[in-house]
Amino acid sequence: MSSKSIIFNFTRNELIEILTKKGFPPYLGGQIFSWVYTKHELNPDNFTNISKENRKKIGELFDFSPLKVIDSRKSVEEETEKFLLRVKNGYIETVLMKQNDYYTQCVSSQVGCKLGCKFCATGEIGFKGNLSADEIVSQVATVKKATNILPKNLVYMGMGEPLLNYENVLKSIEILSDREGYDFGIRRITISTIGILDNLKKLVNRYPNIGIAISLNAIPEKRTAIIPAERKYPIMDIINFYRENKRIARPTLEYTLMDGINSSKEDAKKLLKLLKNIRCKINLIPYNENPKLPYKTVSEETLNDFIKILFKGDNAVTVRRSKGKDILGGCGQLSGEMYD
Ligand code: SF4
């Protein structure tokens, strides 16, 4: 096993500190960070503004390899590509999506997930481990190397519950948003969570403008049936938190519409009532069917009826038609399984 440290695990300040302690000049850490994250150069032999001697030493200290791409698959319309990647604890997926003239990348935060939401392919496979910060950051570096595309937006909506891997997710945000690196503005990063209140509070305290997407998916009395973690992490705690803290950037409430489960007019009316006095955006997602799961998506008619009721409220309502459904790259469809 390599004794080298993985470069993607370090913030710029950490890199500077480590190298300074080893007797290198203080600017060297910043130079390396810049090569990796702004020039996208992952071979230290090519760090031409660094002396040959130091390049050799850097190559001995750090591993610059991105993650191993096991497979990749493009959607029919070629706007979405998902990648199956090898990590320490198994396999994960990351998805690159084209939207008009820019890209958004959906990254994973865990291998599998312990929360077992009934409609989610990731929940089906159980929990195999947290991703380290470098494994999160490296998903971007790996896709950049494979496609030469650096996305504009990042969403932590892949495999796993990001707020149950809080420290590593936080560190990855610090690295990915560094202005002297990839420079993802904090508003261009969205964390999707079923609502782990303690860590959500810490996160928005640290990054008040970070995008937050709450997987609401059902009115409280119906939520446990599809999100068993509702028992431990009640959605009402999240609703009350946002009701009481109006100065925090408004969250997006994600609501996946499943036929006969959470998509009746009655559900819409109760949802409208629940979200009264909360500043939020409501994002409706017609369910992405998965052959292994019994749930069905909704008809256009059901979707329209649902929207009409929500339009009576003050909050913006959008519909997200997931991209890459044909390659099982849509929301809730990632399972980290081999592609055939
Ligand atoms: Fe985990 Fe999110 Fe899937 Fe629920 S929806 S099982 S939290 S990955």
What are the domain boundaries of the chain?
Answer: 5-63, 68-327
Confidence label for 329 from pLDDT (cuts 50, 70 and 90): low
| Pocket of ligand 1 contains residue 194 by CB under 6 Å | yes
Is 93 an annotated catalytic residue?
Answer: yes
Cα–Cα nearest to 144, from 91, 74, 94: 94
Asked if 67 contacts 85 with a C-beta cutoff of 8 angstroms, the reply is yes
| Pocket of ligand 1 contains residue 161 by CB under 6 Å | yes
| Pocket of ligand 1 contains residue 81 by CB under 6 Å | no
Mean pLDDT confidence for 310-333: 79
| Pocket of ligand 1 contains residue 275 by CB under 6 Å | no
Count CB atoms within 10 A of the CB of residue 186. Answer: 15
How far apart are the CA of 121 and the centre of ligand 1, in A?
8
Model pLDDT for residues 83-142, shown as the tens digit of each residue: 999 999 999 999 999 988 999 999 999 999 999 999 888 878 899 999 999 999 999 999
Residue nearest to atom 6 of ligand 1 (CA): 123
Q: 27-37 and 52-61 are packed helices; what angle lies between their axes, rounded to 10 degrees?
A: 70
CATH topology of domain 5-63: DNA polymerase; domain 1 (1.10.150)
Model pLDDT for residues 186-244, shown as the tens digit of each residue: 999 999 999 999 999 999 999 999 999 999 999 999 999 999 999 999 999 999 999 99
**CA distance to 108, 219, 260, 309, 316, per residue, from 266 (Å):** 34, 10, 11, 10, 20
What was the pLDDT predicted at 34? 98
How far apart are the CA of 115 and the centre of ligand 1, in A?
6
pLDDT above 80: residue 340? no
Residues of 286-296 as b/e, b for ≥16 C-beta within 10 angstroms? bbbbbeebebe
The residues with which 254 forms a beta bridge, in sequence order, are 215, 283
What is the number of residues in the chain? 340
Calpha distance 39→106 (Å, rounded)? 22
Position in ligand 1 atom list of the atom nearest CA 160? 8
Domain 5-63 and domain 68-327 have a common topology: no
What was the pLDDT predicted at 76? 79
Q: Pairing relation of β-strands 62-63 and 5-6?
A: parallel
How far apart are the CA of 94 and the centre of ligand 1, in A?
15
Residues of 80-90 as b/e, b for ≥16 C-beta within 10 angstroms? bbbbbbebebe
pLDDT above 70: percentage of residues in the chain: 96
Residue nearest to atom 7 of ligand 1 (CA): 161
Note if the pTM is more than 0.75: yes
Confidence label for 330 from pLDDT (cuts 50, 70 and 90): low
How far apart are the CA of 49 and the centre of ligand 1, in A?
45
CATH class of 68-327: alpha beta
What was the pLDDT predicted at 107? 97
Sign for the pseudo-dihedral over CA of 281, 286, 290, 294 = positive
Confidence label for 290 from pLDDT (cuts 50, 70 and 90): confident
Count CB atoms within 10 A of the CB of residue 104. Answer: 19
Mean pLDDT confidence for 281-307: 93
Mutate-to-test residue for ligand 1 from 92, 93, 120, highest number of ligand atoms within 8 A of CB: 120
How far apart are the CA of 20 and the centre of ligand 1, in A?
41
